[in-house]
Structure 1
Amino acid sequence: MATLLFVLHVLGAVVWVGGMAFALLVLRPAAHEALEPPQRLALMDGVFRRFFRILWHVVPIVVLTGWAMWLGWYWGFGASIWHVHLMHLTGLVMAAIFGLVALGPGRAMRAALAAGDRPGAATALDRIRKGVSVNLALGLLTVAVAAWGRFGG
């Protein structure tokens, strides 16, 4: 059972962090080069609508499998080692940021596009970009902490 929890946890983290890296580092620059603003907004709306729908399933899996491993594998909250506590903190912060981004600017962008308000949609998209950027940095830090704690510390 511990192996299944670990596999689900790692796969969820890969989807979450990898998806953010792809969206920010590959898709966004390519869309800026190839598309005019109206098409770019429509593309990014579709991308984030689909990505956020996936994350509404992935984020709870990552959090719940993390807690299950923490309680069962790492001997609970009080006995855990430093990297597990830091992963817990960054994971909860990332989950909160995701929820705020998806429910705030994510919804605002869809509503603005539906109303034909491209400037409003662009503002919301920029807020999404900023939130996803923070989460990507936290996600990469979390992966580094996991690797460091597992093998270095």
Structure 2
Amino acid sequence: MAFAILALAPSLAAVEAPQQRLALLCGVFRRFFLLVWHAMPAVLLSGWALLFVWYGGFRGAGWHVHLMHLTGLVMGAVYLTIALGPWREMRAALAAGETAAAAGAAGRIRQLVTLNLALGLLTVAVAAWGRFGG
């Protein structure tokens, strides 16, 4: 997510034609979202396995584990929102040659990816604070 926001987006300015820029972005998103589609369940399942094996369930877990669980579920919901909403709209708009609609969908994807990046950073901070700070 940080790559998409901090490296990819600014670098796209070098591609002058909007249609080419969007096609490149679509190719990157296609690969990235496919990876996330497989990684997200693995991360959630491994977290639940740790929760129930290591902590013995929710009752044995500290506040930080509960908050990490919440942010993980919210991040998964944001991803599903991206995949089933603006990502689908962007692909359809590109296929129809509607550059403006595809650009609008790409902007919504960027906003949601930024939200997920912030949630991910919050989750890491909560994990460190709960583990080492109390």
Give CA deviations for 1:94-142 in whole Å, capped at 9, x if unaligned. 0000011011100110110000000010010011001101000000000
Match of 1:126? 107
1:91 to 72, 81, 92: 72
User: Which runs of structure 2 are paired with 1:1-153 in the superposition (5 Å)?
Assistant: 20-32=1-13, 34-36=14-16, 37-153=18-134
- Offset at 1:78? 1.6
Read off the aligned partner of 1:35 and give its amino acid letter: V
Amino acid corresponding to residue 85 of structure 2 in structure 1: G
Runs of 4+ in 1 over 6 A off after TM superposition: none
TM-score (norm 2): 0.96
Unaligned ranges ≥5, structure 1: 1-19
The alignment partner of 1:91 has SS state of: helix
Alpha-carbon distance in 1 for matches of 2:127, 2:58: 16
| Aligned sequence identity (%) | 65
Aligned to 1:67, the other structure's residue is in SS state helix
Please report how far the alpha carbon of residue 39 of structure 1 lies from its aligned counterpart in structure 2 after TM superposition: 1.6
What is the Cα-based RMSD across aligned positions, in Å? 0.8
Give the CA deviation at 1:71: 0.6
Give unmatched runs, 5+ long, in structure 2.
none
Output the CA distance in 1 between the equivalents of 2:52 and 2:40: 18
- SS class of match (1:88): helix
Distance 1:110 1:66 in 2: 32
Query: Separation in 2 of the partners of 1:99 and 1:130?
Result: 14
Q: What's the counterpart of residue 17 of structure 1? A: none
> Aligned partners of 1:116, 1:53: CA distance in 2, in Å?
23
